[in-house]
Amino acid sequence: MSAGTSIAVVGATGYSGRELAHLLVRHPSVKRPVFFVREGKDAERRVNCVSDLYPELRGRGEAPVLPFSAQAVASSGAPAAFLALPHEVSAEVAPVLLEAGMKVIDLSGAFRFRNPETYADWYRLPPAPAALLGEAVYGLTELYGEQVTGARLVANPGCYPTAAILGLKPLTEAGWIDRARGVVCDAKSGVSGAGKQPKTETHFVEVNENFRAYGVFTHRHTPEVTGHLGLDAGDVMFTTHLLPLERGILATMYVWLAEPREAAEIETLYRSFYAGRRMVRIWPAGQLPELRHVAHTNFCDIGFVLDRDARRLVVVACLDNLGKGAAGQAVQNMNRMFGFEETEGLL
C-alpha cells in the first residue's frame, strides 16, 4: 500500500468504527478512507461523508460514507479493509474481500481461534471456513509482529485479552509462575466495551452508580487469555466486571512465583521483554498505572507490586478498550502489514 492510498472501513457506526474514523482521517499514510454502513444504519438522516456521522471530524477531509455490501467493498479500489462487524457477518464478508485480493483486519472474534470447536463452545456460533482460521494471524504485534507483517488476514485481539496477555506474558514465557497455585485475572471495563447495540444491562440507569461482575466462567475471551499465555483453562480464574464509565480496561492479575524474586529482577524481565515495543509502557517497580493514564491512547501500561515474601506478585495492566483494545490496535496492525512505522498515526 503506497503512501496516500485509501482504505475501507466496514461498520462505521459502532464505537470501534468511530474510533477508526478519528485515527484514519489524520493518518499520514492514508489519503482518505472510505466508510461503509450497513442497511438501516442512520437511514433516518442524510449521510454522505464521515463528518455527517461524526461532526467533530469536519475540516479533516470529507471521507465518503457508502451503503455496505461485500461486493461494494471489494470493488472500492482499497487494498485493505477494517471489519468492525458482528462475528457472524465478518465470517461471511472476509472471504469475499480476500478473494478480491484485499487484506483484511477483522475486529470481531471470527478469526481469533484455529480450532473450530472453540466457536461452538464459547461463542455459540458456527466457525468461519477452517482454511481461513488456519491462515489468520493473531494481531498482537508485541508477540506476533513478524507474522502480522505481510499477512492477508489479521484477527484483532479482544480488549480484555490484550491487557491480560501483555500483563502476564513475560512471566509465563520465563516460566516464573507457580501454575499449581493458579492465576487470578480480575478485569474491569468501561461500558463501550459492550458495543453500541442497546441492551438493558448497559442502559445509563443500570450502569450509573453500579458495579457488577458478569460472564463468570463463561466469558468468551477466556480461551484467548489462556491460549496465548500457554496456560491450561484450570490454571486461570478470569472474571470480568462492568465499570460505570465510558472507556478503559484495568486488569489486576494475582500470581504466585515459582521461586522468590527481587523486584528489580522482575522489572528487568518486563523491560527486556518489551524492549522496542513503544506501545507498552512499563512502570517502575512498586508503582501502578491508572485508567486516566491510558485513556484516548494506544498504550498499554503495566505495573507490579511484589510482596515482602518475594513470592506473591500483583500485576496491573491498563489500556483504552477502544484504542489498544480495538481500533488503535487495528491501525497498529495495518501499519505492520504495509510496512509503515508501527506507531504511525497513533502517537
Question: Where in the sequence numbering do the catalytic residues fall?
Answer: 159
> CA 105 to CA 270: how far, in whole Å?
28
Residue 211 near residue 241 (C-beta atoms within 8 A): yes
Q: And the C-alpha cell for 253?
A: 492479575
Cα dist. 151→39, 45, 224, 233, 326 in Å? 30, 38, 20, 29, 18
- Asked whether the beta carbons of 12 and 50 are under 8 A apart, the reply is yes
Q: Is 91 in contact with 127 (CB distance < 8 Å)?
A: yes
Cβ atoms of 69 and 76 closer than 8 Å: no
Length of the chain: 347
Q: Which residues contact 320 (CB under 8 A, 6 or more apart)?
A: 247, 248, 249, 294, 295, 296, 297, 298, 299, 328
| C-beta of residue 65 within 8 angstroms of C-beta of residue 18 | no
| Closest to 221 in 3D by CA, of 337, 93, 87 | 87
Is 326 within 8 Å of 19 (Cβ atoms)?
Answer: yes
CA distance 108 to 123: 11
CA gap 242, 258 in Å, rounded: 32
Contact (CB, 8 A) for 39 and 56: no
Lateral strand order in the sheet of 153-155: 65-67, 34-37, 8-10, 80-83, 103-106, 153-155, 137-138
DSSP 136: P
